[in-house]
Structure 1
Amino acid sequence: MKPYFFTIALLLMQWSATAKVRLAALFTDGMVLQQKAQVPVWGWADPQATLTLQTSWNGQKYQVKADDLGQWKILVQTPAAGGAYQIKVAEKNVIELQDILIGEVWLCSGQSNMEMPLKGYPGQPILGSTEAIMDSKDEQLRIYTVPRNPLLQPAVDSKPSSWKKAEPQSVVGFSATAYFFGRQLRKTLGVPVGLIHSSYGGSNVEAWMEASWLADQQDIQIPRQEEGLKDKNRVPTMLYNGMIHPIAGYGIRGMIWYQGESNYERPDQYEVLFPRMVEKFRDLWGNKELPFYFTQIAPFDYAALPPYHVGEKYNSAYLRDAQRKSLDKIPQAGMAVTMDLGEQNCIHPAHKQQSGERLAYLALHDSYGFSTLNLKSPRYDKLEIKDSTAVLSFSDAPLGLTAYGKEVKTFEIAGKDQQFYPAQAVLKGKTIVVASPKVAEPVAVRYAFKDYIIGDVFGVNGLPLSSFRTDDW
C-alpha cells in the first residue's frame, strides 16, 4: 500500500474507532414528544452502523442501520400524555435522554411579533409581562428556541439549543405570543405542552421558503453566494435553510405563525406565497391537514417607517385582506384577529397575551374539539344590495355581532365611481346594514380598511371582526 493511501486508511480507521452516535439538536433532556403518534428520532453515526433505541414507557427496542452518509432515523410510537420518561440510544457509545414528557407539541414561527420576548423590547413593553414571568413556573410546559441561523444552503442540523422548563429564568427571553399560547393550552387541556420557537425579526415570507417554491416568482432572486448579502433575514430561502429545513419532521400537533409586516408593500404577491408556504410546510411534515393558525398583522402607521410609502396598496389593510382571503385557500387553518390591539406608533403591540390566547382559542376549537363556545372571530360572508343600502352577512357569529353600545364609525361605501365615503352602519343580528346619503347606488363596502385604525365590531364572544373589502379595486 502506498504511504499516502495507508495514511488515509489509517485516519479512516481511527475516525471509525472514535466516532460516536449523536442526535439532532432538537433531541435533548427535557424534550416533549407528540402524544399518540409515530414520531421520528434521528441523528448520525458511522456509515452502515447499526444502532439501538429503547423507550422507557414500554421498554420497546428499535434497531436501525445508518446509511452511507451515517444518517439514521427511527419512527417511535408514543403513548398518551404523561412522563417523565427516558430514551436510550446505543452504538459505540450510549446516549440517555432524561425527563422526557409526552404531550402536545407546537411549532411557533414568524417575525418580530412572534420573536418578541416576554420581557419586551427596549422601550416597547408587553402588558402583564412581569406578572406572567413571575407566575410562569410549570414543569409540564417546556420551551425550545431554534437559534437564528440564515444560511445559503439547507442545513443538516440546527444550531445547538436545549429544552427548558417554564420558569422565570427561561420564559423571560422566550416568545411572548408562543408562551401565552402554550399557557392557555396547558390550562385547558391539562397535559404537557412543548413549544418549538423558530422566528427572526424583520423577516419576509420568502425568507422562510425553499428555493423551488419560489421558482415562478420572477422578481424574487435566490442567492447564489453569501458575499455581499445584507439583511439575511430578508433574503429568500435563508431562514428556511437554517431554521426550518433541519427541524422539519419533528413530531408536532400543528403550527402557529405571526408574520406579514415585512411583506405589507406586496399584498398581491403575499396572497400567492403565504398559502403556498403553508402547503409546502405541510408536505415537509407529511401531513396535508396539519393545523395552521396565524395572527393577522395589527393596524399600524406603516407610512411612518422608511421608505415612507403612502397611498395605493401601501395601505397595510391590503396585506391584512390577503391574510383574510387566505383562509379560503388554506384548509385546517384559522386567523387570530388583532383589529382592537394595534398601536399607531409601535409595530409591536403590547397586548401579546390576547394574541397568544386567541391563537390558542382557534387550536382549542378546531384541533381539540372545544366547540361549546364559538372561539373564532366573525367572518365577512356576502354582500347584498337592497335599494340604496348594502347588507353584509357574517359567519362564525352564532350569537350575532356587537359594538358594545357604541356608534360604528369604521365603514365606507362606494358606487360605480369607486369613490368611498364614510357610511352609517346598523348592526342587526348577524348582518350589518350600511348606507350613505352620498351613494345612491352602492356597489362596494369596506370595513376598517386603513393603515392604522381601531376596529369597533365584535362577535358576542368578544373577538373582533377582521377588516375587509367587498371590492377588488
Structure 2
Amino acid sequence: MNRLLTQVLPLLLLPFVTYAQIRLPRLISDGMVLQRDKKIKVWGWAAAGEKVSLRFRQKEYHTVADNNGSWAIQLPPQGAGGPYTMTFSASNTIEINNILLGDVWLCSGQSNMELTMQRVQDKYAAVIAAKGNSMIRQFTVPDKYDFNQPHNDLEAGEWQEATPEHILAFSAVAYFFAREIYEKYQVPVGLINSALGGSPVEAWLSEDALKAFPAPYAEAMKFRNQALIDSIEEADRTISGKWYARLHGQDQGLKEHWSAAALDDAGWQQMPVPGYWADQAPGRTNGVVWFRKSVHVPAAFINKPVRLWLGRIVDADSVFVNGQFVGTTGYQYPPRRYELPAGVLKAGSNTIAVRVVNTAGRGGFVPDKLYAIATDTDTLHLEGDWKYRQGAVMEPLRGATFIRWKPLGLYNAMIAPLLHYAIKGCIWYQGEANTGRAQEYTALFKALISDWRAKWQQGDFPFLFAQLPGFMEPVSQPAESDWAALRQAQLNTLQRTPRTGMAVTIDLGEWNDIHPLNKQDVGHRLALQAMRLAYGDKHVVASGPLYQSMQVKGNKAILKFADNGSPLTTKNGKAPQYFAIAGPDRQFAWAQADISGPYEITVWSDQITQPVAVRYAWANNPEGANLYNQAGLPASPFEAVIKR
C-alpha cells in the first residue's frame, strides 16, 4: 500500500507542480501609466514553461515562462491615450483596468522630494481643494533597504490619481512638476515616487557602480551581515529606551501635573518665544523644559474651527490647552499645527502648556515661524514672554545609526524593482545629506546618473535635478560653506554630464527650515528643464544664468555666462551683489560687479590686485544674491578659478 501511494502521489500532484498562477509586479496594476512612444515591457512570473497570453487594445501577445518561471512581453510603441484594459491569461486570468499611456517620471532623492502635499496644504489650500486631475497619477515605492541582493518586486504600493481623495499623499515637488507638464502637453503623467528622507547619494548606487568608490563599497559589504544590523539596532533601542525611561521618571512636570490649567506657576521664570533655552538661564542643557502661557481669547474664536500654530520645536513636544492634551510631534522638522477640538477654548483666559523634549543641541522654539491661535478670519499671536521651568536635565542622547541610509541598500530595494518599467526621465532632489563631502559628490552623483541610465537600458534619458536652496543664518563676510560647495558639485555634474538639467532654487529656501514650503516653484523650474530637454521646446528659457568662463584683465575679472536666450539682469535693479574675489592667497573679499554685456559681468575689488578666483552667492544662505536673467530665473551660485 505504501509503495502504491509512493507511485500514485506524484501523479496526483502533477497539475500543481506543472501549473502555477501567473503573478504580476506591483507596478503593473490598476490605474498605471505606461510610457508612450517607447517599447513597453510587461513582465511577471508563472510556472516554468507555462504559456502566458496578453490581450491589449484588440491585439494578442504570447510568451512562455522560462525555467525560472519568469516571463516578459514587449509591446510596440503606443501613442498617448486611455483608459485601457489589459488581460493576462495562463492557468488563471488577471485583468488590469484604467490604464493610461503618457509620460512616466521617476521622482527620487531625499526628504524634499518625499515631502507631501499634506505638509504644504496650508500654503496651497486652493490647489488641494480643486477637483484634481485623474490624468496625473503617482505610485509610491515603500521605504525599504537590502544590502544583499537587488529585489525584483515591491512589497506594496498602488497607483493613485491626483484627486482630492489622494492628493495629500503626492510628493509636492513631483505634483507641481506633473501639473505643469500636463497643462502644457495634455498627456497623462505618471510619477513613480521613490525617495527617502535623509538618504545620501551613495545609498542609491548599485553594487556595480559602488565598486569605483572603495570606502562606500566596503561599508555596503559590511552591512550584508544581518547579525551586525540586528546588534546595532538592538543597542540603539536599548540606549534610547533607557534614556527616555530615565527622562520620564525624572520629569517633575509629569509628577506634578504641570500641564494642568489651574497650576500655580507664579514662581516660574520667563523667556521669549520663539527662542532657544540655550540663550536663557537653563543654558545648553538637554532633557525636558515645560512652557506655559496665559492667553485671553476673544468670544469671536469660540464655536469655530480653531488651529493652534506652534512654529517648529526642537526636538519633540506635547501640547495641552486648559489641561487637555491636543497633540504631539516626535521630531523637530514638521510644522506644529494642532486642530483644537470643540469646547477646548473658552472666552476669556486660557492656558497653553507645552512639554518640550530636547535630546541634543539647542532646544526651543524656532524663530520666524507662526506662533498663533487662528480661525479662518482671526489670528491671536502667541509670540512674547512665556513662563518656563526645567522638568529634567539629561546628558545628550547618542544619535542612532541610520542603517537605511548606508550605501547600496536603497538601490536594491527601491530602484532595482523598477528597472523594467519604461520611463520618460527622472527628477531628483537630494544633496543635503552629502553636504560636508562635496568633493566626492561630483563623482558619486555622476556615477548615479550613469548607473541608472545603464540599468534602465533606455539610453541617456533626461535627468533633471534641483540644486540646494538657501538654508541657515546668513553671514556678513565671505566664508567657506559646505552647502555652497555642494551646489558647486551639482553645477559640475550639470556641465559634465549629457542630457541633464538643473533647477536653481537658491532663492526658494528658508533660513530656519531645511524643508522650505515653496515646492510649486521648484516643480515649475524642473518642468522648464523638462520642456527644453525632454520635450524639445527650444523656445523655453529653462535656466537662469550659468557661469561659463573667466579671464582676468588687470585687477578685474571678466565672467562669461552661457547664452540661454535671456540676458542678464538683477532682481532689484541694483548692481549685482554677493560677489567675492580673491588673490593668490585665496582670501576672499566682497567685490563690486557690473553687467558689462548681455552675458558678461565684470568683477573687481580695490583690495585685490591680482584676481585668481571669483565666487557668487557662496554661502549657506546667500541672502541678497540678486543676479537673474530677464526671464526671472536666478543665477546658479558658482566659483570661478583661473587655472595656472
Report the TM range for the smaller structure's normalisation: over 0.9
Verify: 1:276 aligned to 2:272, yes or no.
no
2-structure distance, mates of 1:218, 1:30 = 42
Aligned partners of 1:3 and 1:457: how far apart in 2?
A: 88
Q: What are the residue-to-residue correspondences of 1:130-169 with 2, within 5 Å?
A: 130-135=125-130, 137-152=132-147, 153-169=149-165
| Alignment CA distance shift 1:53-1:452 (3 Å) | same
Q: Which moved more, 1:311-320 or 1:205-214?
A: 311-320
Structure 1 counterpart of 2:620: 451
Which is further off, 135-144 or 236-245?
135-144
The structure-2 alpha-carbon separation of the partners of 1:411 and 1:249, relative to structure 1 and needing over 3 Å to count, comes to: same
Q: Secondary structure at the match of 2:416?
A: helix
Q: Give the one of 205, 215, 219 matched to 2:215.
A: 219
Whether the 8 Å CA contact 2:162–2:170 is kept in 1: the answer is no
Q: Displacement of 1:32 after TM fit?
A: 0.8
- Structure 2 distance, partners of 1:255, 1:3, is 61
* Contact 1:377–1:396 (CA under 8 A) maintained in structure 2: no
Task: Indicate how the Cα distance of structure 1 residues 9 and 451 shifts in structure 2: closer, same or farther if over 3 A, else same.
Answer: farther
Please name the residue that 2:438 is paired with. 267
Structure 1 stretch 370-379 or stretch 10-19: which is displaced more? 10-19
Q: CA deviation at 1:301?
A: 2.5
Q: Quick check: 1:397–1:460 contact (8 Å CA) kept in 2?
A: no
Superposition map of 1:69-468 within 5 A: 69-120=68-119, 125=120, 128-135=123-130, 137-152=132-147, 153-220=149-216, 221-222=219-220, 223-229=223-229, 230-301=401-472, 315-404=482-571, 405-428=573-596, 429-454=598-623, 455-468=625-638
Structure 2 Cα separation of the partners of residues 281 and 313 of structure 1: 33
CA–CA distance in structure 2, aligned partners of residues 442 and 5 of structure 1: 90
Task: Give the whole-Å Cα distance in 2 for the aligned partners of 1:334 and 1:27.
Answer: 29
Cα RMSD after superposing both structures: 2.3
| Higher relative strand content | 2
Q: Which digits, 9 at most, give the CA deviation of each residue in 1:124-168, with x for residues without a partner?
A: x46732222112511211111111111222112112211111112
Q: Distance in 2 between matches of 1:72 and 1:343?
A: 49
Call closer, same or farther: CA 1:126–1:451 in 2, change over 3 Å.
farther
Find the aligned partners of 2:82 and 2:417 in 1 and give their Cα distance: 26
The residue aligned with 2:49 is 48
How far did 1:302 drift? 9.2
- Against the structure 1 CA distance between its residues 472 and 151, is the aligned structure 2 distance closer, same or farther, given a 3 Å change threshold? farther
CA distance in 1, matches of 2:104, 2:588: 46
- Residue in 2 aligned with 1:307? none
> For the residues of structure 2 that align with 1:442 and 1:7, how far apart are their CA atoms?
91
Going from structure 1 to structure 2, the CA distance change for 1:191 and 1:417 (only over 3 Å counts) comes to: same
How much does 1:472 deviate? 8.6
Contact 2:431 2:486 (8 Å CA) reproduced: yes
Offset of 1:373 from its aligned partner? 3.2
2:398 matched to which residue of 1? none
**Higher mean Cα deviation, 1-10 or 231-240?**
1-10
Contact 1:203 1:234 (8 Å CA) reproduced = yes
Please list the CA deviations of residues 179-233 of structure 1 after superposition, one character each: whole Å capped at 9, or x if unmatched: 0010000000011111111100000111111122111322211122233434133
Deviation at 1:327, TM superposition (A): 1.3
Give the Cα–Cα distance (whole angstroms) in 1 for the partners of residues 564 and 535 of structure 2.
20
- Secondary structure of the equivalent of 2:173? helix
Q: TM-score, normalised by structure 2?
A: 0.68
Whether the 8 Å contact between 2:114 and 2:196 is mirrored in structure 1 is: yes
Quick check: 2:551–2:642 contact (8 Å CA) kept in 1?
Answer: no
Q: Which amino acid aligns with 2:67?
A: D
Range that drifts further, 226-235 or 316-325: 226-235
State the distance in 2 between where 1:344 and 1:93 align.
57
Instruction: Please report the TM-score for the alignment, with normalisation by the length of structure 1.
Output: 0.92
SS at match of 1:249: coil
CA shift at 1:10, angstroms? 7.1
Change (3 A) 1:411 1:12: farther
Alpha-carbon spacing, 1:48–1:108, altered in 2? closer, same or farther (3 Å): same
Which residue of structure 1 lines up, in the alignment, with residue 235 of structure 2? none
Larger radius of gyration: 2
2:203 alignment partner, SS class: helix
Q: Distance in 1 between matches of 2:70 and 2:121?
A: 43
Query: What SS is found at the alignment partner of 2:495?
Result: coil
Contact 1:50 1:63 in 2 (8 A): yes
Shift of 1:48: 1.3
Contact 1:126 1:352 in 2 (8 A): no
The aligned amino acid for 1:384 is Q
1:268-287 per-residue CA deviation (whole Å, 9 max, x = no partner) reads 11111111110110011112
**Runs of 4+ that moved beyond 4 A:** 1-12, 311-314
With over 3 angstroms needed to count, the CA separation of the structure-2 counterparts of 1:51 and 1:472, relative to structure 1, is farther
1:329 CA drift (Å): 2.2
Contact 2:481/2:619, CA 8 A, preserved across alignment: no
- Deviation, structure 1 residue 408: 2.8
Change over 3 Å in CA distance of 1:177–1:4 after alignment to 2 = farther
Change in Cα spacing, 1:367 to 1:8, as seen in structure 2 (3 Å) is farther
For the 8 Å contact 1:119–1:129, the answer to whether it is kept is no
